[in-house]
Structure 1
Amino acid sequence: MTALKTRRAALITATALSLALSISPPVTTRAFAQWIVYDPTNFSQNVLTAARELQQINNQIQMLTNQAQSLLNQGKNLANLPLSTLTQLQAQVARTQSLLSQAQNIAFNVERIQTAYSSVYGTAAATGSNATMVAAAQSRWQNSVGAFEDSLKVQAGVVGNISTNSGAMSSLVTASQSASGALQAAQAGNQLLALQSQQLSDLVAVLAAKGRADALEQARATATESQGQQQYKIFSTRSGYQPGNVTMFGGH
């Protein structure tokens, strides 16, 4: 009986020890795993790493935003100005040139001017018969009258351009001030310069037409003086007065 109890006690002890050994490894493993997950140092490092990655993402987003804005600004700088006055300015210049080309008798042409001066001005004014000199004087008078008329036409055309140019200038200044990019501002500036060039060409045309009229009138006056001297010379060298019979009032 005593031996049996002893054997039972030994068996129970061995069984308990075996259970303890079989249960101990899982408990130890679970305790070790819990210590790794909740390690404060490792957790802080993970948070810092995540914060750095988030900051990098934000930096990349900001960089992409800046690049997109830069592309938008480049697009604005490349946009064309929706306003153009070139056709209008070209039409005004062509109209002024047309008025100048309508110059009467003596056109704005060097060869024609030389021909006209050699035929009715200068020494030609005091040569030939009385009939020839009178015809030349008539031609010079017509040249002067026509030149003054041409000058008035050109002046009227230029004055007519003033209101149109004023409207174009206002539109271009407004377009320049509201330009969305560098290209539009530059194009508006170029058109303003073209407008100034057109106005300068109008001024040159007026001065040329007026100068032509004044020059022809001065030349006419000089030629008339030369012609008068020649006619007086011819008259003074004639023979004395020869009286003749004159019939008046029906022979009474």
Structure 2
Amino acid sequence: MTAFRMKNRSVAALLAGACLVTPAAVTFLLPAPAQAWRIVYDPSNYAQNVLTAARTLEQINNQIASLQNEAQMLINQARNLASLPYSSLQTLQQNVQQTQQLLAQAQNISFEVGQIDQAFQSQYGNVPLSATDAQLVADARLRWENTVGGLQDAMRVQAGVVGNIDANRAEMSALVGESQNAEGALQATQAGNQLLALQSQQLSDLIALMAANGRADALTEAERATAAEQGRIQRERFLTPGSGYQPGNARMFNSN
């Protein structure tokens, strides 16, 4: 009886173990149903991908901005190297040449050291005591002509300088406009240099005017000094005792 019961218990235990093992084994061997395949959403992975995309886009934008800055820099360099399309050199040279021509047309005594020395030695030097009255008069007239010619030359130079004022004013207005509208540093510099050239031309006119006026004043003073010396010589000759009256033969009424 006892053995029968133990046998029944062993059989029951085996059946219970079989019941427990069999479903698990079946579950492992059978294929998984379709509902078991699902898309898993990982928030941390999604956020990392978005951050990576944003950083990549930022790098691209930075590269685009860098290229734009380089292009603008090249444009600015091109503007800085652009030459000024306006030049006043020809006008300024013409003004200087006109003034030089007026100085070169100086009458009788030019602006040349050798000719000035020669003229003063021959015309404004010491008046010889033995010179005749005709020679004294001729020399005095020549000196007067030199003085009048110097005054005329000075007035002609003055007229030329005044005539350059309108041209210089027009050039100055044009150059100031070019300087204000300059696209780059080179154009502004070139406009400034041309303004300096205009000032140099005006200074040249001023120097020429001073030289012409100084020449006229010098000739006037030289004539005055020589006239005083000539007057002294003539007075001395007049006061010098002569040989007196010398009788001579006289004829009257065409007598033979």
Instruction: Output the TM-score relative to the length of structure 1.
Output: 0.82
- Secondary structure of residue in 2 paired with 1:218: helix
Alignment partner, residue 196 of structure 1 = 199
Q: CA deviation at 1:218?
A: 0.5
- Return 124-133 or 85-94, whichever deviates more: 124-133
Aligned partners of 1:127 and 1:194: how far apart in 2? 56
Alignment partner, residue 228 of structure 1 = 231
Matched ranges for 1:177-216 at <5 A: 177-216=180-219
Q: CA deviation at 1:236?
A: 1.6
Rg larger in structure: 2
Gaps of 5+ in 2: 1-21
Gaps of 5+ in 1: 1-12, 248-252
Alignment partner, residue 23 of structure 1 = 31
Alignment partner, residue 156 of structure 2 = 153
Alignment partner, residue 9 of structure 1 = none
- Secondary structure of residue in 2 paired with 1:203: helix
Matched ranges for 1:1-252 at <5 A: 17=26, 21=29, 23-24=31-32, 30-31=37-38, 34-35=39-40, 38-124=41-127, 128-237=131-240, 238-240=242-244
- Secondary structure of residue in 2 paired with 1:154: helix
Instruction: Output the TM-score relative to the length of structure 2.
Output: 0.81
Higher relative helix content? 1
- Amino acid of the structure 1 residue aligned with 2:232: Q
- Amino acid of the structure 1 residue aligned with 2:156: K
Q: CA deviation at 1:125?
A: 6.6
Tell whether the 8 Å contact from 2:168 to 2:198 is kept in structure 1 after alignment. Answer: yes
Tell whether the 8 Å contact from 2:129 to 2:237 is kept in structure 1 after alignment. Answer: no
Tell whether the 8 Å contact from 1:179 to 1:185 is kept in structure 2 after alignment. Answer: yes
Tell whether the 8 Å contact from 1:126 to 1:133 is kept in structure 2 after alignment. Answer: no
**Aligned length in residues:** 227
Q: CA deviation at 1:69?
A: 1.1
Aligned partners of 2:74 and 2:212: how far apart in 1? 54
Aligned partners of 2:106 and 2:34: how far apart in 1? 119
- Amino acid of the structure 2 residue aligned with 1:132: Q
RMSD across aligned positions (CA):
2.6
Q: CA deviation at 1:43?
A: 1.1
Q: How high is the sequence identity, in percent, across the aligned residues? A: 56
Tell whether the 8 Å contact from 2:127 to 2:233 is kept in structure 1 after alignment. Answer: no
Query: For 1:100-152, what per-residue CA distance to the aligned partner results, in whole angstroms no more than 9, with x for missing partners?
Result: 00001100000100000000102147663323222211211111111111111
Q: CA deviation at 1:17?
A: 4.5
Tell whether the 8 Å contact from 2:179 to 2:191 is kept in structure 1 after alignment. Answer: yes
Aligned partners of 2:175 and 2:47: how far apart in 1? 64
Query: For 1:154-201, what per-residue CA distance to the aligned partner results, in whole angstroms no more than 9, with x for missing partners?
Result: 111111000111111111111111111111111111111111110010
Aligned partners of 1:78 and 1:132: how far apart in 2? 71
Q: CA deviation at 1:41?
A: 1.3
Assess, with a 3 A threshold, how the Cα gap between structure 1 residues 116 and 126 changes in structure 2: closer, same or farther: farther
